[in-house]
């Protein structure tokens, strides 16, 4: 069974940093592109970026809305995905999901999400 | 960025009705559109991929159609468990984008 479990969320002050983690199980982690997607309360999801699979060199792509502030990485020995978020703003407040997909196509499995609140 | 416009924003129906939800892309995207269902306080769930391809475990009353810029998610005879928000998402180009959603509610 495919499982994705996010952790590391909570309250952070504006300008602060936070790292989210996503533990993956039930599939061959290195075969998949891994994504971060966020969703403010009551709004649509927003794709943040992905890290490619082994065949494509684990390179990254980002939404311009977060490029330069957010960094995606993965530990393939531990089947872990990470999102490092810096210089956080109030508008970064959202539920953050990790999601997997093949080299292209839809996000076929999502984690349960983790809340991040940026507030003083 | 490719903008996806979903309509209507809210659709009020009674169980047993059949409905169609629309998603229009700001440019042609072939069939690179996917549909998700999101129930309250849950993660989105993939319903349809590549405009019309079914997903294992999804009830057959859900179907999709379209290509280019106009896409439709159809639900044949809505059931009570279908009342939720539906999003379309494109995988044609970066950044990946989602529509604003259609809320299907009980009339």
pLDDT digits (tens, 9 = 90+) for B37-92: 999 999 999 999 999 999 999 999 999 999 999 999 999 999 999 999 999 999 99
Contacting residues of B for A101, CB less than 8 Å apart: 91
- For the cut 90, the answer to whether the pLDDT of residue A56 exceeds it is yes
Contact in structure between B45 and B55 (CB atoms under 8 Å): no
Average pLDDT rounded to a whole number, residues B10-26: 98
Token duo for residue B33: 């559109």
> Residue B31: what pLDDT?
98
Average pLDDT rounded to a whole number, residues A45-64: 98
pLDDT digits (tens, 9 = 90+) for A63-79: 999 999 999 999 999 99
- For the cut 90, the answer to whether the pLDDT of residue B13 exceeds it is yes
Contacting residues of A for B98, CB less than 8 Å apart: 44-47
Q: How far is the alpha carbon of B53 from chain A, nearest alpha carbon, in Å? A: 11
Contacting residues of A for B49, CB less than 8 Å apart: 105-106, 108
- For the cut 90, the answer to whether the pLDDT of residue A103 exceeds it is no
Question: A67: which DSSP letter?
Answer: B
CB contact under 8 A, B91 and A44: no
Average pLDDT rounded to a whole number, residues A19-34: 98
Q: How far is the alpha carbon of B100 from chain A, nearest alpha carbon, in Å? A: 5
From residue A37, give the alpha-carbon distance in Å to each of A53, A92, B17, B80: 17, 12, 33, 28
SS3 call for B18:
coil
Kindly provide the b/e burial profile for residues A14-44, where b requires at least 16 CB atoms within 10 angstroms of the residue's own CB.
eeeebebbbbbeeeebeebbbbbbbbeeeeb
Question: B12: which DSSP letter?
Answer: E
Residue-averaged pLDDT of chain A: 97
Q: Which residue of B has its CA nearest to A64?
A: B95
CB contact under 8 A, B43 and A108: no
Average pLDDT rounded to a whole number, residues A76-93: 98
CB contact under 8 A, A47 and B98: yes
Query: What is the four-CA torsion angle of B15, B103, A42, A34, rounded to 10 degrees?
Result: 100
CB contact under 8 A, A47 and B96: yes
Pairwise CA distance, residues B90 & B35, whole Å: 9
Tell how many helices (H) and how many strands (E) occur in chain A.
0, 11
């Amino acid at each position: 069974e495919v499982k994705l479990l996010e952790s590391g969320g909570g309250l952070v002050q504006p300008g602060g940093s936070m790292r989210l983690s996503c533990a993956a199980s039930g599939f061959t982690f290195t075969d998949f592109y891994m994504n971060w997607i966020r969703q403010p309360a009551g709004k649509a999801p927003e794709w943040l970026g992905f890290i490619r699979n082994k065949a494509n060199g684990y390179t990254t792509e980002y939404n311009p809305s977060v490029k330069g502030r957010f960094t995606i990485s993965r530990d393939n020995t531990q089947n872990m995905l990470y999102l490092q978020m810096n210089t956080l703003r109030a508008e970064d407040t959202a539920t953050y999901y990790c999601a997997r997909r093949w080299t292209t196509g839809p996000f076929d499995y999502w984690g349960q999400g983790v809340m991040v609140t940026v507030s003083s | 960025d490719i903008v996806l416009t979903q309509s209507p924003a809210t659709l009020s129906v009674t169980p047993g009705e059949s409905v169609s939800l629309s998603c229009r892309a700001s440019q042609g995207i072939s069939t690179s559109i996917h549909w998700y269902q999101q129930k309250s306080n849950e993660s989105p769930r993939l319903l349809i991929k590549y405009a019309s391809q079914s997903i294992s475990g999804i009830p057959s009353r859900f179907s999709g159609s379209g290509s280019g810029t106009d896409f439709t998610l159809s639900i044949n005879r809505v059931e009570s468990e279908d009342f939720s928000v539906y999003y379309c998402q494109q995988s044609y180009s970066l950044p990946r984008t989602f529509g604003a959603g259609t809320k299907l509610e009980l009339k």
